[in-house]
Amino acid sequence: MSKSLSYELGPVPVSNDSTGKISGDSQTDKADANYDNVQAVEDGQVTNTSSGDLHEGLHQKLKARHLVFISLGSVIGTGIFLGIGNSLKHAGPVGLVLAYTVMCSVVICVMECVGEMVTYLPVVGAHIRLSGRFIDPAISAAMAWNYWYCWAIIVAAEVSAVAVLVTYWTEAVPSAVWITISLVIILAANLCGPRVYAEIEFYMATIKVTTIIGLIILSIIIDAGGGPNGKKTGFQYWRNPGPFVQYQGVSGSTGRFLAFFSGLTGAAFASIGAEMLAIAAAETTNPRRLIPTALKATWIRIVLFYFCGAFVVSLIVASNDPRLGSASTAAASPYVIAITEAGIKVLPSIINAAILTSALSAGIGDCYTACRALHSMAGNGTAPKIFGRTTRWGSPYVAVITTWALGLLAYLGVKSSSSNVFNFLVNLTALSGIITWLCIGVSFVRFRKGLRAQNMSPKDLPYTSHLGVAGAWWIIGVILAVLLFSGWPVFRKGNWDTATFFGNYLPIGLFTLIFLFFKFWRKTKFVRASEMDLVSGVEEFERQHRQAEDERQAAGIGSRPWYQRIIA
């Protein structure tokens, strides 16, 4: 086993004392021991990981229904309700549908790749930690820090969105009040441990799923002329103003392709977070069974929420409607625009409430994801070991508080003089999110190469990707194109904008700098396929799986109807 691989699997930084209470001295001693082990591994001395170390102080509390709804609800946010309208405005109806079709295929590939790796090795940090085992520990460090600041800043964005959404009803209460209330809820939900977070996400995801399904059905009814005004729209908006928008006045097929590409970029930004399910693997009661079950829900959300959502939006609103992208409340949602035009009252307020719920739910989930990334970094020595401390109920409280503190950036949006800075920070997170997908694609290619080099077959894994290496290369190709060309408009003559340029390309620079820093500081080595660590922790994961299966059989869950098995 190469020392760089073992470095990524260092033992647990923290645990609780025998009394079940947080013990600072005990945790510090164990964290110090873990850090020493990491250093020993880096010096070529292999250490063993005990069964209790595998989860690094986190508790396995998440069940089937939690994972299914985290999978379904993790990507339903303001992007689907509001952002999709902006994509329609810039891409046109056909451009929008094509863009979301391509991005749906990428999301499916991402989930298939991460599902195969994480089901086999449900380690803390999931794909973040595994990238160090399959590529290079420096890649894992860069990916982890990129992932952390991306989702931590998005917490502030979602909190700010809550304050803006409330203005749909009233502006009498200062936005700072709503920001404060939202931040308190997010902190409380994440400090209470994984089970409380999962329960909150379960009910909020139910609201989001019900809302988006209801809107899709209602959109079809409106398109067919079932609204109070009786107006049928059919495919008329595909003909007038046309299937594509000539992007920024560029004529011909070039302008239409650029319109499609702008829609592709918007679809990518709206889809980040699809891999959030994998982060919860280490806190799942039986990941070998439940992760594949939750992955099946991926197809539902991709086809139903993304593709169907984009398709019906292209039918009910014209791409040149001036209300698209004109506000940050339900007033700019294409669904609300269509409902208002159809003469349906009251519903816009209900939809705004659902979008507000989505924003708050996303803030809670984003904080959960970011703090787990920070906790994982503490476990392998790429962040201070203090971030690995956990409470007796399995909450990495130091990581939670630190991550939550970045949510205070939401107050920058209160004053117009600070909003530009805040918006710039938010724009950075979009590309940071899809950099993770690129790393997942590369990790999977390396994982499969390691299997071949060590005479292991993918067919013997607990879950095998249906798309294989071809799916990983599709991720790499599409995401590289989006990353490299997302900021192309600034290079047009007379169109230079410094903020736009850095907003699109600074994440790539930051990722590269973090990688180089850890590469030279830790002197990490690229992992050879023949030396890839494909065994550490596997025996313990299999033991836990057998134990969970025995408990499941004893409880008679397997013989219950499918709907009872889902909520078990």
Q: What is the pLDDT of residue 529?
A: 93
pLDDT, tens digit (0-9, with 9 covering 90-100), for 387-443: 888 887 778 889 999 999 998 988 887 776 555 666 677 667 778 888 999 999 999
- Candidates 1.20.1740.10, 2.40.110.10, 3.40.630.30, 1.10.3720.10; CATH matching 72-530: 1.20.1740.10
Question: Quick one: what percent of the chain has pLDDT higher than 70?
Answer: 78
User: Where do the structural domains in the chain lie, given as residue ranges?
Assistant: 72-530
Single-letter residue type at 322: P
| End-to-end Cα spacing for the chain | 39
Q: Does residue 348 have a cis bond before it (omega within 30 degrees)?
A: no
pLDDT, tens digit (0-9, with 9 covering 90-100), for 508-542: 999 999 999 999 888 888 999 999 989 887 887 77
Average pLDDT over residues 35-46: 34
Extract long-range pairs of 179-185: CB within 8 Å, 24+ residues apart: 179/410, 179/411, 179/414, 182/158, 182/360, 182/363, 182/410, 183/159, 183/404, 183/407, 183/408, 183/410, 185/360, 185/364
Q: How far is it, in rounded angstroms, from Cα 317 to Cα 326?
A: 14
Let me know the angle formed at the C-alpha of 7 by 283 and 439, rounded to the nearest 5 degrees: 65
What sign does the dihedral 162-412-151-438 (CA atoms) show?
positive
pLDDT, tens digit (0-9, with 9 covering 90-100), for 62-100: 555 556 666 666 567 667 777 788 889 889 999 999 999
3-state secondary structure at position 284: strand
Q: How far is it, in rounded angstroms, from Cα 256 to Cα 441?
A: 29
Residue 282 DSSP label: G
pLDDT, tens digit (0-9, with 9 covering 90-100), for 352-391: 888 888 888 888 888 888 888 888 788 778 888 898 888 8
Half-sphere exposure of 242 (CA within 13 A, CB side): 8
Average pLDDT, the chain: 79
pLDDT, tens digit (0-9, with 9 covering 90-100), for 157-182: 888 888 888 888 888 888 889 999 99
pLDDT, tens digit (0-9, with 9 covering 90-100), for 178-222: 999 999 999 998 888 777 777 787 788 888 888 888 999 999 999
Q: Cβ of 217: how many Cβ atoms within 10 Å?
A: 12
3-state secondary structure at position 296: helix
3-state secondary structure at position 309: helix
Q: What is the pLDDT of residue 66?
A: 53
Q: What is the pLDDT of residue 412?
A: 83
Radius of gyration of the chain (CA): 24
What sign does the dihedral 339-344-345-349 (CA atoms) show?
negative
